[in-house]
Amino acid sequence: MPSATQLYQYNHVPETKANLDWADLPTIDLSLYGTESGNAELAETLIEAIRTKGFFYVTNYGISQEEVDTQFALGQHFYELPLEEKIKYQPNLEAGDYNGYRPAGRRVLSGGIKDKTEVWNMATNDGRITQPLPELLQKNKTLIENFSKDLHDKVLDPLLHLIAIALELPADFFTKLHQWNVHDESHLRYMKYSKFSPEEREKLSDGLWSLGHTDLGTITLLFRQPVAALQIKDHKTGEWKWAKPLDGSLTVNTCDALSFLTGGYIKSTVHRVSAPPKDQEHVDRLGLLYFARPQNDLVLNTIDSPVLKRAGYTQNEFEAGNHKVPTMGEFTTLKQTWQQKRGKVYKEEDGAEILPGFQGPDQQDPAPSDNGSNGPGRQLVSKRKHTPTACGVCRRRKTRCGGERPTCFACIRNGRSAECTYETKPTETKSQALKRKYSAADGENNIHRRFVDILRTHPAQDVNDILNRLRGGASVDELVRHIESGDVLLELSVAPEVLWRNNPGNLSNIPDLLKTAGNPYVRSLIYQWKFDSSIPARPRPPMMGLHALYNAPYHTATMVSSIIDNCEPSKWTTVSKDDELLREILRHYFTSIYIFFPFFHKDYFLYDMLHERRRFCSSLLVNTVLAAGCYKFLSEARRLWELSAGERTITRVQAAIALNFEHGLNGQDKLGFSLCITAVALAQDLGLFDDYPATMSNAQRAVRTMTAWALFASQSLQSYHHEKPPLITSPPSIALPTADGDFGEIWLKYAASHSPIPIRFSDMFITLAKFRTVLNEIADRLYSPANSDKVVNIYEASIFYRRLQGWYRELPSHLDAFNLVFPAHFNMHMHYWLVVERLFTPHIAEASSSSPITLAINPGKIVDDARICMRTLIRLFYGSHGDDGYELFGIITAQHVGFAALERISTMQQATERSLQEANDSDALISACILRGQGRMALFGDMVFRVMYKFAPLDLASKISRFTNITKDDNTSTPLPPVQGEWPMYVGDIQQKDDRRVGNLLRAMAEISVEDRDSGEEEEEASI
C-alpha cells in the first residue's frame, strides 16, 4: 500500500473555457489577520460578504498546495478501492450516522436517474479520528489529523474570531463553541461525483447532480475544484450563479447553525451541484471539504449580541414558532437522517418539515424580495398553507383544522395538549401518503424476506449468534445490511482481551439454587458475558462499541460534557475558586446521584451557569449540588437557603429537594423531610403541578415539567420507605413527554471505548417516574390517616401487582432484564422486586387457602421469585461494579437483602445444607461490603452498616470484619455525630415502628454498649 509521500502528486483537470454566469464573490485575505486594524477591516468585509452573498473566498490561509494535493490524492486512491472494501465502512445512514462511506445510488434524480455521488467522512470530534479506516487511510491517519487540525486552527478559528468582532461579542465567543478537543460533529470529507454517460445526461432533465440544499453546521470549507459544478443561490434575487474556482483559495459558505445562533441575521446559503459544462462532462469531480460544527450539547438559541438587538434579530425559527430549540447534536441527527433517507425521489420532499420550526429548502425559485434585509420585518412564520389532511381529532369532530404540528391550533383552543396524529406528512396528499406507506411496507417485507433467507442458509452456530444480537436490541435492517456487506459473524465471536469482575472469596458467584426457570437475570446479557462459564463464546453486546460497559465497572467511566468543561462554577460559590475541582464534582454528581435522583434539568442548569443567567441556575442550587462532594458547600447552601427565605423561584424548589436528599444522606432525614414539605408547598404556589399555558416557552415547559415530576417522584419514594402518608396524592397534571431526549442526555467515556456512550437518561427518568407513581398509590393506601388497616389485603395487593407487572413488561428494551448494565438499571430492578416482595409477604400464609384470588395468584411463589431475583441482582451488581462507586440507592437494596439474610441465618437448623448456608452468608457479606463502601461516602450507609454488623452472629461478624477490613472495636468505638434519622429498618423481632427508626436503633445500641462497658468495669473492680 503506497504512503502519502508517494501519492501526493495529484493532477487537477483543466478549467472550463465555457462562458458561465459566474458569481461575484468577495475575498478574505488572511494575511491581513492578526493586527487590530487588519482584524477590524476583515471583520467588516466578512460580515458584508456572508450577509449579502453567503459564499466568499479565503486566501493566504497558511496551508501549502502540496498538503492540499496530498489529501486529493488520498481521496482519489480511496475511491479506486473495490466497492466491497469501501462498503465495509458504511455507517447506519438511516439512523443519521454519516462518518464512513456512503455509496452512490441512494437518491433518484430527475428523469429517474440514480445519483453517482460517493461520500467518505472522517470525524475529528475529539481531536482524533477514532472510526475504523481502510488500510490506505489508516497508514496516513496522523497526516489527515494534522491537516484537519491546521484547517481548524488556521482557517476556522480566525473566521470565527472575525464574526465575533463583527457581532460585537467577546473575541473567543465562537471559538469556545468549536474547540478542537471537544466533542462535536466536525469532519473532513472526500467526495466524488462520477461522470454520467451521454444517455444518462440526456435523461437528466434539469441537469443537476445534487438539488439545492443548505449545510447544517457553522461554515463549510471547500478546496478549489477545477470542475465547474457548484452553483449558489443569490440571497437577494434568488438567481443561481456558478462559483468560479480561484487558484490558491478556499470557497467558504455559511450554514444552518450559524443562522439559528444569529436569529437569521447570517443566512444559511442554498447551493447545488450541476452537471459540468460540455468541455468537462467527460471527467469525474473530486471534492475535498471540511464541515465545521459547534459542540453537540450547544442549544441553538439566538445569541445575545448588541448588533442583533439593534437590527431586530432576537428570535430564530424555533423560538418564533414556540418550538423546542434543539441542541446541535439533536439537529445534526434529525437533518442527517432526513438527508440520507434511502431512495429519496426527485423533489419528493420540497419544503418538507424536518423538525418543528425548520423546513427543507423548496426547489422552486421564489420571486426576488424587494430588499436584501431580513431585519425586524422578516417573516419567521410562513403563511398559512392549504391543509391536505386534518388531524385525527378534528376529523372525528368535523372541525376545521390548520394542520399545525405537533398540536393543531383547533385542538389547543379546545384545551387538548397532546400531540395530534396525522395520516400524512406535512406536505403530502392522501394519495402520496398511501403510496409512501405501501412502499415502506413493501420495503420492510423485503428486508424480512432477506432475513429469513439468511436464517435458512447460514450454519446453525451463526444463526444463534444472529438471534442473540437480535435479542440484544439490533434491528433486522441493521443485521441484514451488515451480514450482506461482509462477514460480521466472525466479528461477533471476537471477545475483548480484558474482562473486569469483582469476586472476592467467590461472593458474586451465582449459586444453583438461584438459577430457576422464573429468574430472568440468569439469561441476561451481563450474566452470560461475565458470570456464565458454560458459554464457550460470550454473546455480543446490543450495539457495536459497547464492550467497555461489560468489561469495566461503572465508576471508571468519565462524563463527557463540553459545557461543563467551559463552565466556571467558582463564580457561583464562595467556598472554592478551584474550577477544575468544582467541575470534577459536577461530573461525579451527574453520573451518580443525578441519574437515580434528578431534581432539576441538567442542560438548562449548566447552560445558565455557563452564561451566568439566573433563570434555571442560582448560587443556592449550585452549592447544594456541590455539597455532594464536600460538607463546606452544604454549610454554604444552608446559609444561602436562610438568606433567600421568601423567594418564589423554581431554583429554590429544586434546591429544597436536593437539600432534603443531602440531609437524609447525612443522618438528618427528619430535618430533610421538612425541606421536602417546603418544596411541595412552594411548587404548589408556583403552579408546577398544574397545566401550563400554550404560550410558555419550551425551556420553561421542559424545566417545570421535569421539576414537578422529580418532586412528585422524590416524595413518593420517601413516603413509601419512611412509612409516612404522601405529601402529594396525585401526579402532576402535565403529562410526561414521549419523545427521547426531552430531559437531556448524559454521555460516558470508558477507557476502552472509542467514543462516548449515552445512558439514555430521558428514558430512565420517565420510567422511574411511572414506577414511583404506583409507589405513591401504595404509600397512600398503607400510611394515609384515613386508612386504619396498615396492610393491604390480598385483593388490593393483586391489583397493585398487576400495575407493577404492566410497568415491568413495558420497560424499554435497553432497560429490561436482558440488557441491564448500568448501576441505575440494577437499582431500578431491585426496587421493583423489593416492592413486590413487601406487597405479598403478609399474605404468604394465605397461599394454602382456596379463595379465587389465591387460586390465580400464589403469594408464596411471588415472594420466593422476588427474593431470588433480588439475590441474583445484588450479585450481578457487585460482581460487575464493586463497591467503590457512589451508588446511594444501593444502601436501600443492600439493607433489604442483608437483613433478610440475617433473618434466614438466625432460623437455620444445624443440619441445613452447606450450599444454603454459603448462599445466605454471601448475601450478608455482599450487602455488608456495599454498605461499608457507601458508608465511606455517606453517613447513612455507615449507620445502616453499624446496625447490620451489631446484629450479625459472631462467626458472620468475623467474616464481615475480614471482608471490609474492620474490627469490632473499630466499628463500635468511633462515635457517630448527632443523628436525627427516621429511616425504618426491619431488624430481627423489633416490631414497633418507632423502635425500628435508625436514630432510635443507634441510640439503643449506644446505651447497650455503655451498659456493657460499665458492667465490665464493675466486674473488674469486684475482682480486685
| Spatial distance between the Cα atoms of 960 and 952, rounded to a whole number of angstroms | 9
- Which of the four pLDDT bands, split at 50, 70 and 90, describes residue 8? low
Q: Which amino acid is at 923?
A: D
CATH code, 4-348: 2.60.120.330
134-141 average pLDDT score: 91
The mean-pLDDT minimum among 596-600, 679-683, 687-691, 940-944 falls in: 940-944
Q: Check residue 656 and give its pLDDT.
A: 93
Above pLDDT 70, what percent of the chain? 80
Q: Check residue 1000 and give its pLDDT.
A: 61
6-29 average pLDDT score: 80
147-173 average pLDDT score: 93
Judged by phi (left if over 0) then psi (alpha if -120 to 50, else beta), residue 767 lies in alpha
pLDDT of 495 strictly over 70: no
Please report the sign of the dihedral spanned by the C-alpha atoms of residue 944, residue 947, residue 950, residue 956: negative
HEC sequence for 857-916: CCHHHHHHHHHHHHHHHHHHHHHHHCCCCCCCHHHHHHHHHHHHHHHHHHHCCCCCCHHH
Q: Check residue 152 and give its pLDDT.
A: 93
HSE-up of residue 994 (Cα within 13 Å, Cβ side): 0
Q: Check residue 872 and give its pLDDT.
A: 94
545, 953 contact by CB (below 8 A): no
**Three cell numbers, residue 218:** 457553522
Q: Check residue 339 and give its pLDDT.
A: 72
| Spatial distance between the Cα atoms of 302 and 320, rounded to a whole number of angstroms | 10
Residues 6+ apart with CB under 8 A from 372: 51, 52, 235, 236
- Which of the four pLDDT bands, split at 50, 70 and 90, describes residue 371? very low
- Which of the four pLDDT bands, split at 50, 70 and 90, describes residue 776? very high
Q: Which amino acid is at 76?
A: Q
883-911 average pLDDT score: 83
Please report the sign of the dihedral spanned by the C-alpha atoms of residue 538, residue 541, residue 544, residue 547: negative
In Å, what is the CA distance from 743 to each residue of 231, 506, 706, 737?
Answer: 41, 40, 7, 9
Q: Check residue 889 and give its pLDDT.
A: 83
714, 661 contact by CB (below 8 A): yes
831, 815 contact by CB (below 8 A): no
> Is residue 330 classed as helix, strand or coil in its secondary structure?
helix
| Spatial distance between the Cα atoms of 574 and 587, rounded to a whole number of angstroms | 20
| Spatial distance between the Cα atoms of 277 and 291, rounded to a whole number of angstroms | 27
- Which of the four pLDDT bands, split at 50, 70 and 90, describes residue 849? low
HSE-up of residue 521 (Cα within 13 Å, Cβ side): 25
Question: Higher pLDDT residue, 934 or 119?
Answer: 119
Q: Check residue 493 and give its pLDDT.
A: 39
Most confident residue range from 272-286, 574-588, 995-1009: 574-588
pLDDT of 1 strictly over 80: no
Q: Check residue 380 and give its pLDDT.
A: 38
**Three cell numbers, residue 101:** 462511506
pLDDT digits (tens, 9 = 90+) for 957-975: 888 888 887 755 555 555 6
In eight-state DSSP terms, residue 260 is H
Question: Higher pLDDT residue, 393 or 475?
Answer: 393
Give the closest residue to 352 by CA, choosing from 213, 508, 519, 193.
213
Q: Check residue 803 and give its pLDDT.
A: 94
pLDDT digits (tens, 9 = 90+) for 49-71: 898 888 999 999 999 888 998 99
Give the closest residue to 735 by CA, choosing from 371, 406, 250, 294.
406
pLDDT of 41 strictly over 60: yes
Question: Higher pLDDT residue, 428 or 183?
Answer: 183
pLDDT of 491 strictly over 90: no
Peptide bond just before 406 cis, omega within 30 deg: yes
420-441 average pLDDT score: 73
719, 783 contact by CB (below 8 A): yes
- Which of the four pLDDT bands, split at 50, 70 and 90, describes residue 497? very low
Residues 6+ apart with CB under 8 A from 132: 88, 89, 100
Q: Check residue 353 and give its pLDDT.
A: 61
Domain boundaries, the chain: 4-348, 888-1024
Phi (first) and psi of residue 930, to 5 degrees = -65, -45
522, 876 contact by CB (below 8 A): no
Residues in the chain: 1024
pLDDT of 649 strictly over 50: yes
Q: Where are the beta strands (DSSP E) in 148-218?
A: 187-193, 208-213
Residue corresponding to grid cell 393483586: 798
pLDDT digits (tens, 9 = 90+) for 756-767: 888 999 999 999
Q: Check residue 95 and give its pLDDT.
A: 75
Q: Check residue 912 and give its pLDDT.
A: 65
Verdict on whether the full-model pTM lies above 0.75: no
Residues 6+ apart with CB under 8 A from 121: 98, 99, 100, 102, 187, 188, 189
pLDDT of 346 strictly over 60: no
pLDDT of 911 strictly over 80: no
- Which of the four pLDDT bands, split at 50, 70 and 90, describes residue 292? very high
The mean-pLDDT minimum among 607-611, 661-665, 813-817 falls in: 661-665
839-847 average pLDDT score: 81
Question: Higher pLDDT residue, 218 or 542?
Answer: 218
Q: Check residue 58 and give its pLDDT.
A: 94
Q: Check residue 374 and give its pLDDT.
A: 38
Residue corresponding to grid cell 423561584: 649
The mean-pLDDT minimum among 369-378, 458-467, 841-850, 907-916 falls in: 369-378
Question: Higher pLDDT residue, 790 or 343?
Answer: 790
693-721 average pLDDT score: 88
Residues 6+ apart with CB under 8 A from 134: 78, 81, 85, 86, 88, 89
82: number of Cβ within 10 Å: 7
248-263 average pLDDT score: 93
Q: Check residue 360 and give its pLDDT.
A: 61
Residue corresponding to grid cell 463583527: 166
Residue corresponding to grid cell 376529523: 395
Give the closest residue to 77 by CA, choosing from 156, 4, 133, 131.
4
897, 871 contact by CB (below 8 A): yes
Q: Check residue 697 and give its pLDDT.
A: 77
The radius of gyration computed from the CA coordinates of the chain, to the nearest angstrom, equals 32
| Spatial distance between the Cα atoms of 271 and 209, rounded to a whole number of angstroms | 12
Phi (first) and psi of residue 696, to 5 degrees = -65, 140
Please report the sign of the dihedral spanned by the C-alpha atoms of residue 616, residue 622, residue 623, residue 624: positive
Question: Higher pLDDT residue, 827 or 320?
Answer: 827
| Spatial distance between the Cα atoms of 212 and 339, rounded to a whole number of angstroms | 12
**Cβ-count burial 368-377 (b if 16+ within 10 Å, e if not):** eeeeeebeee
First to last CA, the chain: 94
The per-residue pLDDT of the chain, averaged, comes to: 81
Q: What is the largest CA-CA distance in the chain?
A: 120
Helix (H) or strand (E) holding 251: strand 249-254
